[in-house]
Amino acid sequence: MKKHNKRFIQIPLLIFVAVAIGVVIYLSNKTNPILQVTTIPSPLNGQGGNNFPSVQLSPTPSPVFFPTSAPTIVPLPTSTPTPIPTSIPTVTQESQSIQLPNTGNLTFDQLDGNAYLVADDGEYLGLISSNRFDSDSITNEYGTYGSKYSPTCILNQYGEYGSKYSTKSAFNKYTQNPPQIIYQGSFFAYLTVNKYLVPSIHTEALIGYLKSK
C-alpha cells in the first residue's frame, strides 16, 4: 500500500517538472539563447525514481562587426605632357620683321633677294625679290614667276600654286602643304595664309611689302 502511494505522488511530480521544463525552453527560444541540456540525479533514485533534465544557459557569443565603409582608392600620379608651342609668328609693320622659333628676328629686307620659293612637289616658284626686272622675281609681272597667267606663279589665282582651293597654294587657308621659303639653302618658313601653320609668313604681308618698295 505504501509503494502505491509513492508512485501516486511521483506521477504528478513528473508532470509538473515536465511542464516547467517546457516553459523554460519556450521562454529561452524567444530570447534566442543557446541551450545545453544535462541530466541530474533525481532525489528519488534508488527508490524507483527517474533522472530529471536540467537546463543550463550558455553565454551568448559576442557579435562580429564588419566594416561598412568602402576602401579609399588613391589614384596613381600622372605626368603632365609638356605643351608644344603653337604661337603664330607676327609681322610688325614698323620693322617688317618676323619672329620665328629658334631663328631670332629676320627682316623682310634680309629675305629680299636672298630667299626663294619651292612648292611642296619640289617645283621652283621664283626668287623673293622686290626687283621687278629680275626674270626670277615673283614681283616681275611679265616673268615666269610673277605673271598672274603663269602656271608657276603664286599670284595665278587659277593655278596650282595660287588657287585658294589647291593644297599646294600659298593662298589656301586650310592647306598643310603650301610653298616653302628657302633661306641660305635651308627651309626657313612656309608662305601661306593658313594662320595655324607654323613657322610661316603670311603671303599677302610679304607680297605687299615687296611691291611697296
Residue 37 lies in a domain: no
Domains contained in the chain, number: 1
CA atoms within 13 A on the CB side of 18: 7
Alpha carbons 204 and 171: distance in angstroms, whole number: 9
Residue 140 lies in a domain: yes
Position 84 pLDDT exceeds 90: no
Structure confidence by residue, pLDDT tens digits, 191-202:
999 999 999 999
Residue 10 lies in a domain: no
Who has greater pLDDT, 190 or 7?
A: 190
Residue 204 lies in a domain: yes
- Mark out the alpha helices in 31-133 (DSSP H runs): 108-111
Alpha carbons 191 and 204: distance in angstroms, whole number: 9
Alpha carbons 189 and 77: distance in angstroms, whole number: 39
Residue 61 lies in a domain: no
Cβ–Cβ under 8 Å, residues 154 and 146: no
Residue 23 lies in a domain: no
Position 6 pLDDT exceeds 90: no
C-beta atoms surrounding 191 within 10 Å: 27
Residue 46 lies in a domain: no
Residue 92 lies in a domain: no
Who has greater pLDDT, 55 or 23?
A: 23
Could you tell me how far CA 59 lies from the centroid of its own chain?
58
Which pLDDT belongs to residue 130?
A: 96
Model confidence pTM above 0.75: no
Domain that holds residue 158: 97-212
